[in-house]
Chain A
Amino acid sequence: MIAAGTALLDRLYLPARLGAPLVVRRNPVYQEGVELMAMEPEAREAAEAMARYCRGDATAFHKLYGLLAARILAYLTGLLGDKAAAEDTLQLTFLKVHEARANYVLGANPIPWIYTIAHRTALDEIRKRKRSRVRVGKDAELPAEPAAHITGVAADVHPDPAEPSDGSGPAAAAVALAALAKLPENQRQALILTKVHGRSIADAALITGSSPGAIKQRAHRAYVTLRQLLKRKEVA
Protein backbone atom coordinates (compact mmCIF):
# COMPACT_ATOMS: atom_id res chain seq x y z
CA MET A 1 0.00 0.00 0.00
CA ILE A 2 2.86 2.36 0.97
CA ALA A 3 4.76 1.52 -2.25
CA ALA A 4 1.65 2.06 -4.37
CA GLY A 5 1.03 5.36 -2.60
CA THR A 6 4.59 6.48 -3.30
CA ALA A 7 4.37 5.61 -6.97
CA LEU A 8 1.13 7.58 -7.20
CA LEU A 9 2.64 10.58 -5.43
CA ASP A 10 5.72 10.49 -7.66
CA ARG A 11 3.37 10.76 -10.63
CA LEU A 12 1.30 13.48 -9.00
CA TYR A 13 4.45 15.50 -8.48
CA LEU A 14 5.37 15.41 -12.16
CA PRO A 15 4.30 19.01 -12.98
CA ALA A 16 6.66 20.39 -10.36
CA ARG A 17 9.49 18.45 -11.97
CA LEU A 18 8.92 19.93 -15.38
CA GLY A 19 11.31 22.74 -14.49
CA ALA A 20 14.05 20.21 -13.70
CA PRO A 21 16.80 19.48 -16.20
CA LEU A 22 16.02 16.52 -18.45
CA VAL A 23 17.58 13.36 -17.06
CA VAL A 24 17.89 10.50 -19.51
CA ARG A 25 17.28 7.25 -17.63
CA ARG A 26 20.04 5.23 -19.15
CA ASN A 27 22.99 3.21 -17.85
CA PRO A 28 21.98 3.00 -14.20
CA VAL A 29 24.97 2.41 -11.97
CA TYR A 30 24.76 -0.51 -9.56
CA GLN A 31 26.81 -0.49 -6.44
CA GLU A 32 26.71 -3.35 -3.97
CA GLY A 33 23.16 -4.17 -4.92
CA VAL A 34 21.98 -0.56 -4.64
CA GLU A 35 20.83 1.07 -7.82
CA LEU A 36 21.99 4.63 -8.14
CA MET A 37 19.30 6.63 -9.88
CA ALA A 38 20.08 7.61 -13.44
CA MET A 39 21.44 11.09 -12.72
CA GLU A 40 23.88 13.73 -13.85
CA PRO A 41 27.56 12.67 -13.65
CA GLU A 42 28.41 14.99 -10.77
CA ALA A 43 25.40 13.82 -8.78
CA ARG A 44 26.39 10.23 -9.46
CA GLU A 45 29.94 10.93 -8.35
CA ALA A 46 28.64 12.59 -5.16
CA ALA A 47 26.28 9.66 -4.51
CA GLU A 48 29.09 7.17 -4.88
CA ALA A 49 31.36 9.17 -2.56
CA MET A 50 28.54 9.50 -0.03
CA ALA A 51 27.87 5.75 -0.12
CA ARG A 52 31.56 4.98 0.51
CA TYR A 53 31.65 7.60 3.26
CA CYS A 54 28.66 5.99 4.99
CA ARG A 55 30.53 2.69 4.88
CA GLY A 56 33.30 4.33 6.95
CA ASP A 57 35.70 5.33 4.16
CA ALA A 58 37.17 8.65 5.39
CA THR A 59 38.85 9.36 2.03
CA ALA A 60 35.40 9.47 0.45
CA PHE A 61 34.59 12.40 2.72
CA HIS A 62 37.49 14.38 1.23
CA LYS A 63 36.22 13.53 -2.24
CA LEU A 64 32.74 14.77 -1.29
CA TYR A 65 34.19 17.90 0.29
CA GLY A 66 36.24 18.59 -2.81
CA LEU A 67 33.19 18.15 -5.02
CA LEU A 68 30.80 20.34 -3.08
CA ALA A 69 32.59 22.68 -0.68
CA ALA A 70 33.23 25.47 -3.23
CA ARG A 71 29.64 25.77 -4.34
CA ILE A 72 28.22 25.38 -0.83
CA LEU A 73 30.60 28.14 0.28
CA ALA A 74 29.38 30.34 -2.57
CA TYR A 75 25.77 29.64 -1.60
CA LEU A 76 26.50 30.53 2.01
CA THR A 77 28.38 33.68 0.99
CA GLY A 78 25.35 34.75 -1.03
CA LEU A 79 23.01 34.14 1.91
CA LEU A 80 25.20 35.60 4.63
CA GLY A 81 26.95 38.31 2.61
CA ASP A 82 30.13 37.69 4.60
CA LYS A 83 32.94 35.41 3.43
CA ALA A 84 34.38 34.72 6.90
CA ALA A 85 30.99 33.78 8.37
CA ALA A 86 30.29 31.66 5.30
CA GLU A 87 33.54 29.73 5.80
CA ASP A 88 32.65 29.01 9.44
CA THR A 89 29.15 27.96 8.41
CA LEU A 90 30.61 25.70 5.72
CA GLN A 91 32.60 23.79 8.35
CA LEU A 92 29.51 23.55 10.53
CA THR A 93 27.48 22.31 7.57
CA PHE A 94 29.86 19.46 6.82
CA LEU A 95 30.01 18.61 10.52
CA LYS A 96 26.21 18.31 10.46
CA VAL A 97 26.39 16.19 7.31
CA HIS A 98 28.82 13.92 9.14
CA GLU A 99 26.51 13.64 12.15
CA ALA A 100 23.43 13.03 9.99
CA ARG A 101 25.05 10.62 7.50
CA ALA A 102 22.88 7.76 8.75
CA ASN A 103 19.90 9.64 7.30
CA TYR A 104 21.29 9.32 3.80
CA VAL A 105 19.37 6.98 1.47
CA LEU A 106 21.83 4.90 -0.57
CA GLY A 107 21.57 5.67 -4.27
CA ALA A 108 19.99 9.09 -3.77
CA ASN A 109 21.51 12.37 -4.94
CA PRO A 110 23.13 13.91 -1.83
CA ILE A 111 23.65 17.38 -3.33
CA PRO A 112 20.20 18.89 -2.58
CA TRP A 113 20.34 17.30 0.89
CA ILE A 114 23.69 18.94 1.67
CA TYR A 115 22.41 22.25 0.29
CA THR A 116 19.40 21.93 2.60
CA ILE A 117 21.63 21.39 5.63
CA ALA A 118 23.73 24.40 4.57
CA HIS A 119 20.55 26.44 4.11
CA ARG A 120 19.30 25.57 7.61
CA THR A 121 22.69 26.31 9.13
CA ALA A 122 22.80 29.69 7.39
CA LEU A 123 19.28 30.55 8.59
CA ASP A 124 20.34 29.73 12.15
CA GLU A 125 23.39 31.96 11.73
CA ILE A 126 21.24 34.81 10.37
CA ARG A 127 18.84 34.50 13.31
CA LYS A 128 21.73 34.45 15.74
CA ARG A 129 23.05 37.65 14.17
CA LYS A 130 19.65 39.34 14.37
CA ARG A 131 19.46 38.56 18.07
CA SER A 132 22.87 40.11 18.70
CA ARG A 133 22.75 42.91 16.16
CA VAL A 134 23.74 45.70 18.54
CA ARG A 135 27.24 45.00 19.84
CA VAL A 136 28.54 47.37 22.45
CA GLY A 137 32.28 47.52 23.09
CA LYS A 138 33.97 47.26 26.50
CA ASP A 139 33.92 51.02 26.83
CA ALA A 140 30.12 50.95 26.26
CA GLU A 141 30.39 52.68 22.88
CA LEU A 142 28.81 51.48 19.65
CA PRO A 143 31.28 50.61 16.89
CA ALA A 144 31.64 53.25 14.19
CA GLU A 145 29.31 52.95 11.20
CA PRO A 146 31.01 52.05 7.91
CA ALA A 147 31.77 55.02 5.66
CA ALA A 148 29.38 55.57 2.75
CA HIS A 149 29.98 56.93 -0.74
CA ILE A 150 27.81 59.86 -1.86
CA THR A 151 25.75 57.40 -3.96
CA GLY A 152 24.66 55.58 -0.79
CA VAL A 153 26.79 52.52 -1.46
CA ALA A 154 29.30 51.53 1.22
CA ALA A 155 32.57 53.29 0.47
CA ASP A 156 34.55 50.05 0.30
CA VAL A 157 32.24 48.59 -2.33
CA HIS A 158 31.88 51.66 -4.53
CA PRO A 159 33.32 50.94 -7.96
CA ASP A 160 36.78 52.23 -8.70
CA PRO A 161 36.80 54.54 -11.80
CA ALA A 162 39.82 52.61 -13.05
CA GLU A 163 37.89 49.35 -13.05
CA PRO A 164 36.80 47.64 -16.32
CA SER A 165 33.37 48.91 -17.38
CA ASP A 166 32.10 45.46 -18.43
CA GLY A 167 31.26 44.62 -14.81
CA SER A 168 33.92 41.95 -14.48
CA GLY A 169 35.98 43.66 -11.77
CA PRO A 170 35.97 42.91 -8.05
CA ALA A 171 34.17 46.16 -7.21
CA ALA A 172 31.30 45.24 -9.56
CA ALA A 173 31.06 41.92 -7.76
CA ALA A 174 31.03 43.72 -4.42
CA VAL A 175 28.26 46.02 -5.64
CA ALA A 176 26.29 42.96 -6.76
CA LEU A 177 26.81 41.34 -3.37
CA ALA A 178 25.62 44.52 -1.63
CA ALA A 179 22.55 44.58 -3.90
CA LEU A 180 21.90 40.90 -3.14
CA ALA A 181 21.97 41.72 0.58
CA LYS A 182 19.16 44.24 0.05
CA LEU A 183 16.80 41.59 -1.27
CA PRO A 184 14.32 39.93 1.09
CA GLU A 185 15.80 36.72 2.51
CA ASN A 186 13.51 34.29 0.67
CA GLN A 187 13.96 36.07 -2.68
CA ARG A 188 17.72 36.03 -2.25
CA GLN A 189 17.68 32.27 -1.57
CA ALA A 190 15.55 31.55 -4.63
CA LEU A 191 17.67 33.75 -6.90
CA ILE A 192 21.00 32.32 -5.78
CA LEU A 193 19.84 28.71 -6.05
CA THR A 194 18.23 28.99 -9.46
CA LYS A 195 20.25 31.69 -11.26
CA VAL A 196 23.70 31.33 -9.73
CA HIS A 197 23.86 27.66 -8.79
CA GLY A 198 21.65 26.36 -11.59
CA ARG A 199 19.54 24.16 -9.31
CA SER A 200 16.21 23.10 -10.76
CA ILE A 201 13.02 24.65 -9.42
CA ALA A 202 12.13 21.32 -7.75
CA ASP A 203 15.56 21.12 -6.09
CA ALA A 204 15.39 24.73 -4.92
CA ALA A 205 11.93 24.06 -3.45
CA LEU A 206 13.27 21.03 -1.59
CA ILE A 207 16.32 22.92 -0.33
CA THR A 208 14.34 25.88 1.01
CA GLY A 209 11.27 23.94 2.10
CA SER A 210 8.98 25.97 -0.17
CA SER A 211 6.72 25.06 -3.06
CA PRO A 212 8.01 25.12 -6.66
CA GLY A 213 5.51 27.87 -7.52
CA ALA A 214 6.78 30.07 -4.70
CA ILE A 215 10.38 29.56 -5.81
CA LYS A 216 9.58 30.60 -9.39
CA GLN A 217 7.78 33.71 -8.19
CA ARG A 218 10.47 34.71 -5.68
CA ALA A 219 13.30 34.17 -8.18
CA HIS A 220 11.49 36.31 -10.74
CA ARG A 221 10.77 39.11 -8.26
CA ALA A 222 14.33 39.01 -6.97
CA TYR A 223 15.72 39.15 -10.47
CA VAL A 224 13.60 42.18 -11.36
CA THR A 225 14.49 43.99 -8.11
CA LEU A 226 18.17 43.20 -8.47
CA ARG A 227 18.27 44.52 -12.02
CA GLN A 228 16.57 47.73 -10.87
CA LEU A 229 18.97 48.13 -7.95
CA LEU A 230 22.04 47.62 -10.12
CA LYS A 231 20.70 49.86 -12.87
CA ARG A 232 20.07 52.62 -10.31
CA LYS A 233 23.64 52.33 -9.06
CA GLU A 234 24.98 52.42 -12.59
CA VAL A 235 23.01 55.61 -13.30
CA ALA A 236 24.25 57.13 -10.04
Chain B
Amino acid sequence: MSGGNGFDDSVLGRATGVDAPPPAPSAELLRAVEGSKPVRTRTRFGAALVVSLVGLVAPAIALVHGPLRRDLAGLPAAWVIAAAALWGAAFALSLVAALVPRRGDVLPAPSRASLVSTAAMAVVALFALFATVDVPGLSMLPADRGWTLFDSCVHCIGTVAKIAAVVLIAGLIALRRLVPVGGSRVGMALGAAGGALGGLLLVFICPFATTAHVVLGHVVGMVLAAIAGAVLVRATAR
Protein backbone atom coordinates (compact mmCIF):
# COMPACT_ATOMS: atom_id res chain seq x y z
CA MET B 1 0.00 0.00 0.00
CA SER B 2 1.44 3.33 -0.95
CA GLY B 3 0.37 6.70 0.38
CA GLY B 4 0.14 10.01 -1.42
CA ASN B 5 3.52 10.98 -0.03
CA GLY B 6 5.21 8.08 -1.80
CA PHE B 7 5.72 6.20 1.46
CA ASP B 8 5.26 2.46 1.18
CA ASP B 9 4.11 0.30 4.13
CA SER B 10 6.69 -2.32 3.26
CA VAL B 11 9.35 0.17 4.39
CA LEU B 12 8.24 -0.62 7.94
CA GLY B 13 8.83 -4.30 7.28
CA ARG B 14 12.31 -3.58 5.95
CA ALA B 15 12.99 -1.20 8.83
CA THR B 16 12.23 -3.85 11.43
CA GLY B 17 14.02 -6.51 9.40
CA VAL B 18 11.12 -8.88 8.71
CA ASP B 19 13.16 -10.69 6.05
CA ALA B 20 16.44 -10.64 7.95
CA PRO B 21 17.75 -14.04 9.08
CA PRO B 22 17.60 -14.53 12.85
CA PRO B 23 20.68 -15.38 14.89
CA ALA B 24 21.26 -19.03 15.78
CA PRO B 25 19.96 -20.11 19.20
CA SER B 26 22.38 -19.13 21.96
CA ALA B 27 24.46 -21.73 23.80
CA GLU B 28 22.39 -21.21 26.95
CA LEU B 29 19.15 -21.79 25.05
CA LEU B 30 20.53 -24.89 23.33
CA ARG B 31 21.70 -26.32 26.65
CA ALA B 32 18.24 -25.85 28.12
CA VAL B 33 16.51 -27.40 25.11
CA GLU B 34 18.85 -30.38 24.76
CA GLY B 35 18.16 -31.44 28.31
CA SER B 36 14.40 -31.04 28.01
CA LYS B 37 12.09 -33.80 29.14
CA PRO B 38 8.48 -34.42 28.14
CA VAL B 39 6.09 -32.16 30.02
CA ARG B 40 2.45 -32.52 30.87
CA THR B 41 0.67 -29.70 29.10
CA ARG B 42 -2.38 -27.80 30.30
CA THR B 43 -5.91 -28.47 29.22
CA ARG B 44 -8.36 -25.67 28.51
CA PHE B 45 -10.72 -26.44 31.39
CA GLY B 46 -8.34 -28.00 33.94
CA ALA B 47 -7.49 -24.87 35.90
CA ALA B 48 -11.10 -23.60 35.99
CA LEU B 49 -12.38 -26.96 37.23
CA VAL B 50 -9.76 -27.20 39.99
CA VAL B 51 -10.25 -23.60 41.11
CA SER B 52 -14.05 -23.92 41.14
CA LEU B 53 -13.90 -27.16 43.14
CA VAL B 54 -11.47 -25.66 45.66
CA GLY B 55 -13.55 -22.49 45.87
CA LEU B 56 -16.80 -24.38 46.43
CA VAL B 57 -15.53 -26.27 49.50
CA ALA B 58 -15.93 -23.42 52.01
CA PRO B 59 -19.42 -22.32 50.84
CA ALA B 60 -20.57 -25.95 50.85
CA ILE B 61 -19.37 -26.43 54.43
CA ALA B 62 -21.02 -23.14 55.46
CA LEU B 63 -24.31 -24.20 53.88
CA VAL B 64 -24.31 -27.68 55.41
CA HIS B 65 -23.10 -26.80 58.89
CA GLY B 66 -23.89 -23.11 59.34
CA PRO B 67 -27.26 -21.47 60.03
CA LEU B 68 -29.35 -20.49 56.99
CA ARG B 69 -31.17 -17.15 56.88
CA ARG B 70 -34.34 -17.36 58.92
CA ASP B 71 -36.57 -15.84 56.21
CA LEU B 72 -35.47 -18.39 53.57
CA ALA B 73 -38.67 -20.42 53.85
CA GLY B 74 -40.80 -17.29 53.46
CA LEU B 75 -39.06 -16.00 50.32
CA PRO B 76 -40.63 -16.76 46.91
CA ALA B 77 -38.97 -19.91 45.56
CA ALA B 78 -38.66 -18.34 42.10
CA TRP B 79 -36.77 -15.38 43.57
CA VAL B 80 -34.37 -17.63 45.49
CA ILE B 81 -33.70 -19.69 42.35
CA ALA B 82 -33.25 -16.55 40.21
CA ALA B 83 -30.90 -14.90 42.72
CA ALA B 84 -28.83 -18.08 43.14
CA ALA B 85 -28.71 -18.63 39.37
CA LEU B 86 -27.60 -15.04 38.79
CA TRP B 87 -24.81 -15.06 41.37
CA GLY B 88 -23.84 -18.58 40.25
CA ALA B 89 -23.70 -17.51 36.61
CA ALA B 90 -21.64 -14.46 37.58
CA PHE B 91 -19.21 -16.81 39.33
CA ALA B 92 -19.00 -19.36 36.49
CA LEU B 93 -18.74 -16.86 33.64
CA SER B 94 -16.15 -14.68 35.40
CA LEU B 95 -14.09 -17.75 36.30
CA VAL B 96 -14.23 -19.08 32.75
CA ALA B 97 -13.26 -15.68 31.36
CA ALA B 98 -10.30 -15.51 33.74
CA LEU B 99 -8.94 -19.02 33.33
CA VAL B 100 -10.18 -20.67 30.13
CA PRO B 101 -8.53 -19.66 26.85
CA ARG B 102 -10.71 -19.38 23.77
CA ARG B 103 -10.68 -22.36 21.44
CA GLY B 104 -7.36 -22.39 19.62
CA ASP B 105 -5.64 -19.99 22.05
CA VAL B 106 -3.12 -20.71 24.80
CA LEU B 107 -3.78 -17.72 27.06
CA PRO B 108 -7.02 -16.40 28.54
CA ALA B 109 -8.06 -13.22 26.72
CA PRO B 110 -7.70 -10.17 29.03
CA SER B 111 -10.22 -8.07 27.12
CA ARG B 112 -12.87 -10.79 27.34
CA ALA B 113 -12.10 -11.23 31.05
CA SER B 114 -12.67 -7.56 31.86
CA LEU B 115 -15.77 -7.35 29.66
CA VAL B 116 -17.42 -10.40 31.20
CA SER B 117 -16.60 -9.55 34.80
CA THR B 118 -17.77 -5.95 34.40
CA ALA B 119 -21.03 -7.18 32.88
CA ALA B 120 -21.44 -9.72 35.71
CA MET B 121 -20.95 -7.03 38.36
CA ALA B 122 -23.38 -4.69 36.59
CA VAL B 123 -26.07 -7.37 36.33
CA VAL B 124 -25.88 -8.43 39.99
CA ALA B 125 -25.85 -4.76 41.02
CA LEU B 126 -29.02 -4.11 39.01
CA PHE B 127 -30.65 -7.24 40.44
CA ALA B 128 -29.73 -6.14 43.97
CA LEU B 129 -31.02 -2.62 43.34
CA PHE B 130 -34.33 -3.49 41.75
CA ALA B 131 -35.18 -7.05 42.71
CA THR B 132 -34.23 -7.46 46.37
CA VAL B 133 -37.11 -9.09 48.23
CA ASP B 134 -37.79 -9.27 51.97
CA VAL B 135 -40.35 -11.05 54.08
CA PRO B 136 -42.00 -8.70 56.59
CA GLY B 137 -41.67 -10.11 60.06
CA LEU B 138 -39.06 -12.69 59.09
CA SER B 139 -36.31 -10.70 57.37
CA MET B 140 -33.99 -8.84 59.72
CA LEU B 141 -32.83 -5.26 59.76
CA PRO B 142 -29.31 -4.47 61.00
CA ALA B 143 -30.92 -2.62 63.92
CA ASP B 144 -32.54 -5.87 65.10
CA ARG B 145 -29.03 -7.04 66.03
CA GLY B 146 -28.02 -3.67 67.36
CA TRP B 147 -25.86 -3.04 64.29
CA THR B 148 -25.71 -0.07 61.99
CA LEU B 149 -25.99 -0.52 58.22
CA PHE B 150 -22.22 -0.01 58.06
CA ASP B 151 -21.60 -2.80 60.60
CA SER B 152 -23.79 -5.22 58.68
CA CYS B 153 -22.07 -4.36 55.40
CA VAL B 154 -18.60 -4.83 56.90
CA HIS B 155 -19.71 -8.22 58.24
CA CYS B 156 -20.92 -9.41 54.83
CA ILE B 157 -17.93 -7.94 52.98
CA GLY B 158 -15.78 -9.95 55.40
CA THR B 159 -17.64 -13.13 54.45
CA VAL B 160 -17.26 -12.37 50.73
CA ALA B 161 -13.56 -11.63 51.26
CA LYS B 162 -12.94 -15.00 52.93
CA ILE B 163 -14.62 -16.94 50.11
CA ALA B 164 -12.97 -14.80 47.42
CA ALA B 165 -9.53 -15.22 49.03
CA VAL B 166 -9.69 -18.99 48.51
CA VAL B 167 -10.65 -18.56 44.84
CA LEU B 168 -7.98 -15.90 44.36
CA ILE B 169 -5.18 -17.95 45.90
CA ALA B 170 -6.16 -21.08 43.93
CA GLY B 171 -6.47 -18.95 40.77
CA LEU B 172 -3.10 -17.29 41.32
CA ILE B 173 -1.48 -20.73 41.54
CA ALA B 174 -3.25 -21.76 38.33
CA LEU B 175 -2.19 -18.57 36.56
CA ARG B 176 1.53 -18.82 37.28
CA ARG B 177 3.42 -17.81 34.12
CA LEU B 178 0.13 -17.64 32.28
CA VAL B 179 -0.52 -13.91 32.20
CA PRO B 180 2.46 -12.19 30.62
CA VAL B 181 0.18 -9.26 29.73
CA GLY B 182 -3.24 -8.05 30.86
CA GLY B 183 -2.77 -9.37 34.39
CA SER B 184 -5.01 -6.74 35.96
CA ARG B 185 -7.92 -7.59 33.63
CA VAL B 186 -7.59 -11.33 34.18
CA GLY B 187 -7.19 -10.74 37.92
CA MET B 188 -10.28 -8.56 37.96
CA ALA B 189 -12.30 -11.44 36.50
CA LEU B 190 -10.80 -13.91 38.95
CA GLY B 191 -11.58 -11.63 41.91
CA ALA B 192 -15.09 -11.01 40.58
CA ALA B 193 -15.60 -14.78 40.38
CA GLY B 194 -14.55 -15.16 44.00
CA GLY B 195 -16.77 -12.25 45.03
CA ALA B 196 -19.73 -13.71 43.14
CA LEU B 197 -19.25 -17.03 44.93
CA GLY B 198 -19.34 -15.14 48.22
CA GLY B 199 -22.51 -13.37 47.05
CA LEU B 200 -24.04 -16.73 46.14
CA LEU B 201 -23.42 -18.01 49.65
CA LEU B 202 -24.93 -14.84 51.17
CA VAL B 203 -28.17 -15.42 49.24
CA PHE B 204 -28.70 -18.39 51.58
CA ILE B 205 -27.15 -17.26 54.85
CA CYS B 206 -27.40 -13.47 55.13
CA PRO B 207 -30.41 -12.53 57.26
CA PHE B 208 -30.48 -8.87 56.14
CA ALA B 209 -32.72 -8.30 53.16
CA THR B 210 -32.71 -4.54 52.67
CA THR B 211 -31.69 -3.20 49.28
CA ALA B 212 -29.08 -0.91 50.83
CA HIS B 213 -27.45 -3.81 52.65
CA VAL B 214 -27.41 -6.14 49.64
CA VAL B 215 -25.94 -3.47 47.39
CA LEU B 216 -23.40 -2.07 49.86
CA GLY B 217 -22.52 -5.37 51.51
CA HIS B 218 -22.81 -8.06 48.86
CA VAL B 219 -22.26 -6.26 45.55
CA VAL B 220 -19.57 -3.95 46.92
CA GLY B 221 -17.92 -7.06 48.37
CA MET B 222 -17.75 -8.50 44.86
CA VAL B 223 -16.38 -5.25 43.45
CA LEU B 224 -13.71 -5.06 46.17
CA ALA B 225 -12.74 -8.67 45.46
CA ALA B 226 -12.39 -7.80 41.76
CA ILE B 227 -10.14 -4.83 42.62
CA ALA B 228 -8.04 -7.02 44.92
CA GLY B 229 -7.75 -9.63 42.17
CA ALA B 230 -6.63 -7.03 39.63
CA VAL B 231 -3.91 -5.74 41.94
CA LEU B 232 -2.72 -9.18 43.07
CA VAL B 233 -2.59 -10.90 39.69
CA ARG B 234 -0.88 -7.94 38.04
CA ALA B 235 1.76 -7.97 40.76
CA THR B 236 2.37 -11.69 41.01
CA ALA B 237 1.16 -13.86 38.15
CA ARG B 238 3.51 -12.70 35.39
B20-A101 in contact (CB<8A): no
- Chain B interface residue count, CB cutoff 8 Å, equals 68
B41-A113 in contact (CB<8A): no
* C-alpha spacing A9/B93, complex, angstroms: 8
Instruction: Assess whether B161 is interfacial by the CB under 8 Å rule.
Output: no
* C-alpha spacing A173/B16, complex, angstroms: 8
Which residue in chain A gives the minimum CB-CB distance to B112? A13
Range, interface on chain A: 35 or more
* C-alpha spacing A43/B93, complex, angstroms: 29
Contact of A95 among B14, B29, B101 (CB under 8 A): B29
Query: In chain A between 88 and 107, which residues have their CB closer than 8 angstroms to a CB of chain B?
Result: 90-91, 94-95, 98-107
B41-A94 in contact (CB<8A): no
Contact of A211 among B15, B97, B111, B177 (CB under 8 A): B111
Instruction: Assess whether B76 is interfacial by the CB under 8 Å rule.
Output: no
Binds A, one of B59-67, B129-137, B179-187: B179-187
Q: Collect the chain A residues with CB atoms within 8 Å of residue B238's CB.
A: 120
A103-B105 in contact (CB<8A): no
Instruction: Assess whether B146 is interfacial by the CB under 8 Å rule.
Output: no
- Asked if A1 meets B92 with Cβ closer than 8 Å, knowing A83-B17, A196-B18, the reply is yes
Q: Mark B11-27, 1 if CB is under 8 A from A, else 0.
A: 11111111111110110
Which residue in chain A gives the minimum CB-CB distance to B5? A231
Q: Collect the chain A residues with CB atoms within 8 Å of residue B3's CB.
A: 227
B25-A74 in contact (CB<8A): no
* C-alpha spacing A69/B24, complex, angstroms: 9
Instruction: Assess whether A234 is interfacial by the CB under 8 Å rule.
Output: yes
CB of A232, distance to nearest CB on chain B (Å): 9
CB of B20, distance to nearest CB on chain A (Å): 7
Contact of A98 among B20, B32, B41, B49 (CB under 8 A): B32
Instruction: Assess whether A190 is interfacial by the CB under 8 Å rule.
Output: no
Binds B, one of A54-62, A128-136, A137-145, A146-154: A54-62
Contact of A108 among B6, B95, B106, B112 (CB under 8 A): B106
Centre residue among B9, B16, B93, B107 by max chain A CB count within 10 A: B16
* C-alpha spacing A208/B182, complex, angstroms: 7
* C-alpha spacing A165/B170, complex, angstroms: 60
Query: In chain A between 1 and 40, which residues have their CB closer than 8 angstroms to a CB of chain B?
Result: 1-3, 5-6, 8-10, 12-13, 16, 37, 39
B177-A61 in contact (CB<8A): no
Centre residue among B12, B13, B37 by max chain A CB count within 10 A: B12
B111-A212 in contact (CB<8A): yes
Instruction: Assess whether B223 is interfacial by the CB under 8 Å rule.
Output: no
B48-A196 in contact (CB<8A): no
* C-alpha spacing A210/B6, complex, angstroms: 32
Centre residue among B13, B49, B89, B185 by max chain A CB count within 10 A: B13
B39-A54 in contact (CB<8A): yes
* C-alpha spacing A114/B102, complex, angstroms: 16
* C-alpha spacing A65/B178, complex, angstroms: 21
- Asked if A209 meets B103 with Cβ closer than 8 Å, knowing A61-B33, A177-B16, the reply is no
B103-A10 in contact (CB<8A): yes
* C-alpha spacing A55/B179, complex, angstroms: 23
* C-alpha spacing A58/B49, complex, angstroms: 32
B105-A58 in contact (CB<8A): no
A-B contact pairs, 26 of them (CB 8 A): A1-B92, A2-B100, A9-B102, A12-B116, A56-B39, A58-B33, A69-B22, A74-B17, A78-B12, A78-B16, A83-B17, A102-B42, A109-B106, A112-B105, A116-B107, A116-B181, A119-B181, A120-B180, A120-B238, A174-B15, A196-B12, A210-B110, A210-B111, A212-B111, A227-B5, A234-B5
Known: A9-B112, A72-B22, A209-B110. 16 other contacts (CB 8 A): A2-B49, A61-B36, A62-B25, A73-B23, A75-B16, A78-B16, A94-B29, A99-B32, A99-B177, A100-B177, A112-B107, A116-B107, A123-B181, A170-B14, A227-B7, A230-B5
